[in-house]
């Protein structure tokens, strides 16, 4: 995609002079300052960098899970940094799908119940939420495992449930933080292929944090987070 074409498309996500600084007494730990980024609709961006560079922190800020120390985060044309917590939670529920390295599934619930959770939180009827969950589980190849509890499933299957849960609310932005980091090479490849295929079919915009350069190079852009700034890799 050429620069001129990119400039004509309004970004889905725009970061302007974003800063995150942790303070303890007179000591400052600067994660980043004056960070800039535009992500256009439908784009898949990989973020790489050393451990501790702030990659996960960046995703937390974009999703509204954390507050920046300065700057703005625009989603479409709205600066989400000024939203009240209630509105921010609603924004996350409706617009953001998040896949973590640790799947954070609830072990006492079934696969179907875990996937339907975001829909129940937003107030959907239980029957409709269950139907949507079943469709999403079918989409990730686990339709036959809907009634199984998390502990009865393999690591790869658990991550598939986490992906189904992230997509159940039909978000427009998919954030993935080392989604294959806890998996063996073959299972990790299958999970990345699944994520990439789902993103394409659903027309999602995606920001992916990964240490796997093979996966990163399959994205539209690869950015390195280093010394508090993003650079083309």
Contact predicate 208/219, CB 8 Å:
yes
Per the structure, the count of domains in the chain is 1
**pLDDT top residue among 53 and 1:** 53
Nearest to 62 by CA among 101, 11, 99, 15: 15
Domain span including residue 169: 3-232
**For all residues of the chain together, what is the average pLDDT?**
92
DSSP 143: G
Domain with 113 in it: what CATH number?
A: 3.40.50.300
Average pLDDT value for residue range 17-42: 92
User: What was the pLDDT predicted at 222?
Assistant: 97
Question: What is each CA distance from 197 to 22, 126, 203, in whole angstroms?
Answer: 38, 28, 10
Q: How far apart are CA 168 and CA 2, in angstroms?
A: 33
Per-residue pLDDT tens for 164-179? Answer: 999 999 999 999 999 9
With a pLDDT cut of 70, the percent of the chain lying above it is: 97
Q: Could you report the per-residue pLDDT of 59-78, keeping only the tens digit for each? A: 999 999 999 999 999 999 89
Q: What is the mean pLDDT of residues 153-162?
A: 92
From CA 198, how far away is CA 110, in angstroms rounded?
22
- Interacting residues of 154 by C-beta distance below 8 A, sequence separation 6+: none
Q: Is the pLDDT of residue 32 over 50?
A: yes
């Amino acid at each position: 995609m050429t620069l001129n074409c990119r400039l004509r498309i309004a970004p889905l996500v725009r970061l302007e002079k974003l800063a995150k600084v942790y303070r303890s007494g007179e000591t400052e730990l600067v994660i980043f300052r004056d960070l800039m980024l535009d992500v256009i609709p439908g784009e898949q961006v990989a973020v790489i960098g050393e451990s501790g560079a702030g990659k996960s922190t960046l995703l937390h800020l974009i999703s509204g899970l954390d507050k920046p120390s300065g700057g703005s985060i625009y989603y479409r044309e709205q600066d989400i940094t000024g939203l009240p917590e209630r509105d921010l939670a609603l924004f996350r529920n409706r617009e953001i799908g998040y896949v973590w390295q640790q799947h954070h599934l609830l072990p006492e619930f079934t696969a179907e119940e875990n996937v339907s959770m975001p829909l129940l939180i937003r107030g959907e009827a239980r029957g409709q939420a269950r139907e949507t969950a079943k469709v999403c589980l079918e989409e990730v190849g686990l339709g036959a495992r809907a009634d199984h509890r998390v502990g009865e499933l393999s690591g790869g299957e658990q991550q598939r449930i986490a992906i189904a849960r992230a997509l159940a609310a039909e978000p427009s932005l998919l954030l993935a933080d080392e989604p294959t980091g806890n998996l063996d090479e073959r299972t990790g490849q299958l999970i990345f292929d699944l994520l990439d295929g789902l993103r394409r079919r659903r027309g999602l915009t995606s920001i992916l944090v990964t240490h796997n350069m093979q996966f990163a190079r399959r994205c539209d852009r690869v950015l390195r987070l280093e010394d508090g700034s993003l650079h083309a890799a």
